[in-house]
């Protein structure tokens, strides 16, 4: 069985075909470096061990391992996060082949060619064995590595005229990957990646704002961003009105910083005819991206679930249309 994995810093996204039907799953990253107590049933455990170190999934722990750094791509917790996502997917534990990703800054070398050393490092990292407390886990056999952002545009690129090209803007939790790709994926004109531009600019801002009163996990901060317009949700989790006001001010300020950094990066590119905005942060910046690139409405693409664009594009590249 082959499973496609976009192992981002904030969430793990999965896609696979089962009986000819495409299925997807998403699993958030929030792992602390110790096991959690399971009072009733170890068969539902999310406790993991890898190379003698123990981790557990804990969505509320403020001590969760930081994943918003490039080194996360080769870390023990990255492998644990992939296995946790597989176990949450509903797929029966078994031996699987997986296809994972690397940010463009890691996937490409200084000559814009595949960085064989980093790709081999990623493969070796992901193939490490993970044991799950109290139940069977997955065994990862073959590992393939694809670059981030580029596969997300596979369907759009296939439909473009020969002299067209697509600018793919992929904003994740940690990195901004931008690719200028020629139609039919005939070649890549230019790529650019900044491992310090990501939604973490906003999440870290929220955590710092609340730090004087309480420590929260990155996952909790991400949920605040997602639910920032839901008054009842915010009031339930932040009873102090002053805390809520401070957080909303921070979100507005940090979203402005994030948007400016993304649009500034796009000034490096020219000559494209179409634009696509993907990734977990697409919703925060897509309007600004559309405005600064000045492409017509029918040449701008942003899906309803941009977090899945990359992993579905990976599947399409390897196995055919998701509509099969």
Per the listing, tokens 């997300």 go with 152
Asked if the structure places residue 129 within a domain, the reply is yes
Q: Using 50, 70 and 90 to split pLDDT, how confident is the model at 183?
A: very high
Structural domain count of the chain: 1
- 301 contacts: CB under 8 Å, gap ≥ 6: 156, 274, 275, 276, 277
pTM, entire model: 0.89
Q: Using one digit for the tens of pLDDT, what is the confidence trace for 292-308?
A: 999 999 999 999 999 99
- 271 contacts: CB under 8 Å, gap ≥ 6: 165, 180, 189
Q: Using one digit for the tens of pLDDT, what is the confidence trace for 102-148?
A: 999 899 998 889 999 999 999 999 999 999 998 899 999 999 999 98
Mean pLDDT over residues 50-61, rounded?
93
Write the DSSP assignment of 80-117 as a string of letters.
Answer: HHHHHHHHHTTPPS-EEEEEEEE-HHHHB-TTSSB-HH
Asked if the structure places residue 157 within a domain, the reply is no
Asked if the structure places residue 55 within a domain, the reply is yes
Asked if the structure places residue 277 within a domain, the reply is no
Q: Which of 202, 130, 171 is nearest to 265 (CA)?
A: 171
**CATH number of the domain enclosing 14:** 3.30.420.40
Asked if the structure places residue 247 within a domain, the reply is no
Residues spanned by the domain of 50: 2-150+307-319
Asked if the structure places residue 230 within a domain, the reply is no
Asked if the structure places residue 137 within a domain, the reply is yes
Asked if the structure places residue 272 within a domain, the reply is no
For residues 262 and 213, which has the higher predicted lDDT (pLDDT)?
A: 262
Residue 131, classed as helix, strand or coil, is: strand
């Amino acid at each position: 069985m082959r499973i496609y994995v976009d192992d981002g810093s904030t969430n793990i996204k999965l896609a696979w075909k089962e009986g000819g039907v495409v299925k997807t799953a998403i699993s958030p990253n929030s792992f602390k470096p110790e096991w959690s107590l399971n009072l009733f049933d170890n068969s539902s455990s999310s406790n993991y061990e890898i190379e003698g170190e123990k981790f557990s999934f804990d969505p509320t722990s403020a001590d969760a391992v930081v994943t918003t750094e490039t080194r996360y791509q080769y870390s023990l917790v990255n492998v644990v996060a992939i296995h946790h996502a597989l176990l949450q997917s509903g797929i029966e534990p078994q031996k699987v082949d997986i296809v994972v990703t690397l940010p463009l800054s890691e996937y490409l070398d200084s000559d814009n060619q595949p960085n064989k050393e980093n790709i081999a490092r990623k493969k070796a990292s992901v193939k490490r064995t993970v044991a799950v407390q109290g139940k069977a886990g997955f065994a990862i056999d073959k590992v393939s590595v694809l670059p981030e952002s580029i596969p997300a545009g596979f369907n759009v690129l296939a439909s473009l005229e020969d002299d067209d090209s697509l600018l793919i803007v992929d904003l994740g939790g940690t990195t901004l990957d931008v690719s200028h790709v020629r139609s039919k994926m005939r070649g890549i004109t230019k790529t650019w990646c900044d491992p310090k531009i990501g939604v973490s600019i906003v999440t870290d801002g929220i955590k710092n704002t609340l730090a004087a009163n309480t420590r929260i996990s990155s996952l909790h901060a991400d949920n605040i961003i997602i639910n920032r317009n839901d008054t009842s949700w915010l009031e339930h989790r932040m009873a102090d009105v002053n805390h809520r006001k401070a957080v909303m001010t921070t979100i507005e300020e940090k979203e402005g910083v994030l948007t400016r950094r993304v649009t500034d990066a796009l000034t490096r590119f020219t000559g494209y005819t179409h634009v696509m905005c993907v990734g977990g942060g697409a919703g925060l910046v897509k309007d600004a991206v559309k405005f600064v690139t000045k492409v017509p409405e029918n040449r701008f693409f942003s899906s309803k679930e941009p977090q899945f664009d990359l992993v579905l594009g990976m599947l399409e590249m390897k196995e055919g249309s998701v509509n099969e």
